[in-house]
Amino acid sequence: MATFSRNSSLPNTGCQETDFYTLVETLTPSADLVLDSSGLRLASGTSGALAAAYSTPYWRKYTLTKADFTTANSNLATIFTLPDGGIIHGVRVRHTVAFSSTTLTLNTASLSVGTTANTAKYAAPIDVLQPPADNLYRLNMSGGGETFSLAGAGAGRAIVAFLDADAPGEDMDAGTVQIWVLWSMTEI
């Protein structure tokens, strides 16, 4: 049987296991944890000491293809809507199929992640015209948040991928990008 040490370090977190187990022990017997699109959180109506810890950050993966960039000649594609109180901790962008066109000559094609007001807020542009490679990706861990309604009635903020290319997505033949976003929720 494995030996359990309550005070060992959790790698790469700066936390101790005690932190996690103390957190779990504060749950009342009626507390229900739910894992959904906002992360790990207490179920609605649950009371207890964990009420302030609304969600745990975890990586969510989104896949976009050239077809996602074809709406009304826009090179913006919505990845997801960050709910009010959402915080982005990091973004990783990696293309798995190079963006290309057989009808047009493409000199540039780069992809960034941000908002409609600042298209590179969460990840600076990465060249998606070049062939994909195992070690070719963009990782940004600076994070940030968006303005939200203190009343909790806001619509959230669209997080977008911006394809900066010589041609709109609809004129491209191929292109696939994977975007991982590390985000969590705060209680508002």
pLDDT of 168 higher than 80: no
Q: Name the residue with tokens 């070719």.
A: 136
Tokens 């491209």 correspond to what residue? 172
Residue 13 DSSP code:
T
Give residue 26's pLDDT. 45
List pLDDT tens digits, range 95-126.
Answer: 999 988 887 777 888 999 999 889 999 999 99
Pick from 6-10, 122-126, 144-148, 165-169 the range whose average pLDDT is largest: 122-126
User: What is the rounded distance in angstroms from the CA atom of residue 150 to the CA atom of residue 10?
Assistant: 34
* CA separation for the pair 151, 149 (Å, rounded): 5
Q: How far is CA 170 from the centre of its chain?
A: 25
The helix/strand/coil state of 126 is strand
Residue 34: per-residue pLDDT: 67
How many degrees, rounded to 5, is the angle at CA 52 between CA 50 and CA 53? 70
Give the residue with greater pLDDT, 54 vs 187. Answer: 187
Tell me which of 107 and 167 has the higher pLDDT.
107
Does residue 136 contact residue 42 with C-beta atoms inside 8 Å?
A: no
The count of residues in the chain is: 188
- 152 or 3, which is more confident? 152
Checking if the pLDDT of 68 tops 50, the result is: yes
Give the domains, in start order, of the chain with CATH numbers. Answer: 9-52 (no CATH), 58-185 (2.60.120)
pLDDT of 27 > 90? The answer is: no
Q: Report how far apart, in Å, the C-alpha atoms of 138 and of each of 9, 31, 77, 100, 103 are.
A: 29, 39, 18, 20, 28
What pLDDT score was predicted for residue 156?
Answer: 78
- Write the Ramachandran bin of 161: left for phi over 0, alpha for psi from -120 to 50, otherwise beta: beta
- Asked if residues 74 and 168 have their Cβ atoms less than 8 Å apart, the reply is yes
